[in-house]
Structure 1
Amino acid sequence: MKKRIISKILEGERLNEDEALKLFDFDLAELGYLARIVRFKLNPERIVTYVVDRNINYTNICISGCKFCAFYKPPGSPDGYVLSFEELGKKIEETLALGGYQILLQGGLHPDLSLEFYERMLGFIKTHYPQIHVHGFSPPEIVHFSKKSGLSIEEVLRRLIKSGLDSIPGGGAEILSDRVRGLLSPNKATSEEWLKVMEIAHKLGLKTTATMMFGHIETREEIVEHLLKIRNLQDKTGGFTAFIPWTFQPKNTKLHYLTKVGSVEYLRVLAISRIVLDNIRNIQVSWVTQGPHIAQIALEFGGNDFGSTMIEENVVAATGVSHRLSEEQIRHYIKSAGYIPKRRKMDYTIIE
Structure 2
Amino acid sequence: MGISCEETLDCFKSDDLIGLGMEADAVRRRLHPEGVVSYTVCGRIDPRTSGESAILAEIGKAASMGASSITLCSERTETIEQMELLLRAIKSHFPSLWLHCFSAGEIQSLAQRSGLTLYDTIARLRDAGLDSIPGDVVSLDDATAGVLGETGSNGWFDVHRTAHRLGLPTTACMVFGQGETLEQRVSYLEALRGLQVQTGGFTAFSLRAFVPRAAGPRVIEEPTAVEYLKMLAISRMVLDNIANIEIDFGAQGLKVFETCLRFGGNDAGSLPIGGSAATAEQLRQVVRDAGFRPVERDLAYRTVFLN
**What TM-score, normalized by structure 2, do the two folds share?**
0.89
2:43 maps to what in 1? 54
Call closer, same or farther: CA 1:312–1:244 in 2, change over 3 Å: farther
1:209 maps to what in 2? 171
Match of 1:136 among 101, 111, 125: 101
1:96 maps to what in 2? 63
CA shift digits 1:282-332 (9 cap, x unpaired): 11111122122211111111001111112279xxxxxxxxx9974333322
> What amino acid sits opposite 2:51 in the alignment?
S
Match of 1:285 among 244, 247, 251: 247
Q: Where in structure 2 are the equivalents of 1:218-257 lying within 5 Å?
A: 218-252=180-214, 257=219
CA contact (8 A) 1:245 1:284 kept: yes
SS at match of 1:170: coil
Question: What 5-or-longer segments of structure 2 have no aligned partner?
Answer: 146-151
- Matched residues in 2 for 1:234 and 1:125: separation? 30
Call closer, same or farther: CA 1:129–1:272 in 2, change over 3 Å: same
Question: What 5-or-longer segments of structure 1 have no aligned partner?
Answer: 1-12, 59-80, 181-189, 314-322
- Matched residues in 2 for 1:207 and 1:253: separation? 37
- Matched residues in 1 for 2:143 and 2:12: separation? 22
Q: Quote the offset at 1:256 in angstroms.
A: 8.8
Call closer, same or farther: CA 1:197–1:176 in 2, change over 3 Å: farther
Q: Quote the offset at 1:211 in angstroms.
A: 0.6
SS at match of 2:205: strand
SS at match of 2:154: helix
**What TM-score, normalized by structure 1, do the two folds share?**
0.78
**Paired residues, number:** 298
SS at match of 1:309: strand
- Supply the RMSD in Å over aligned alpha carbons: 2.5
CA shift digits 1:200-256 (9 cap, x unpaired): 111111111111011112111111111000000000110111111101111258799
Q: Quote the offset at 1:347 in angstroms.
A: 2.5
SS at match of 2:135: coil
2:10 is aligned with 1:22: yes
Q: Where in structure 2 are the equivalents of 1:164-175 lying within 5 Å?
A: 164-175=129-140
2:6 is aligned with 1:41: no
SS at match of 2:100: strand
Q: Quote the offset at 1:139 in angstroms.
A: 1.1
Q: Where in structure 2 are the equivalents of 1:6-17 lying within 5 Å?
A: 13-17=1-5
CA contact (8 A) 1:250 1:258 kept: yes
Q: Quote the offset at 1:98 in angstroms.
A: 1.7
1:344 maps to what in 2? 297
CA contact (8 A) 1:54 1:312 kept: no
Call closer, same or farther: CA 1:301–1:324 in 2, change over 3 Å: farther
CA contact (8 A) 1:198 1:208 kept: yes
Percent of residue pairs bearing the same amino acid type: 37
- Matched residues in 2 for 1:249 and 1:130: separation? 37
2:288 is aligned with 1:335: yes
CA contact (8 A) 2:49 2:55 kept: no
CA contact (8 A) 1:173 1:210 kept: no
> What amino acid sits opposite 1:94 in the alignment?
K
SS at match of 2:12: helix
Q: Quote the offset at 1:191 in angstroms.
A: 6.3
Moved more, 120-129 or 131-140: 120-129
> What amino acid sits opposite 1:193 in the alignment?
G
2:90 maps to what in 1? 125
CA contact (8 A) 2:143 2:187 kept: no
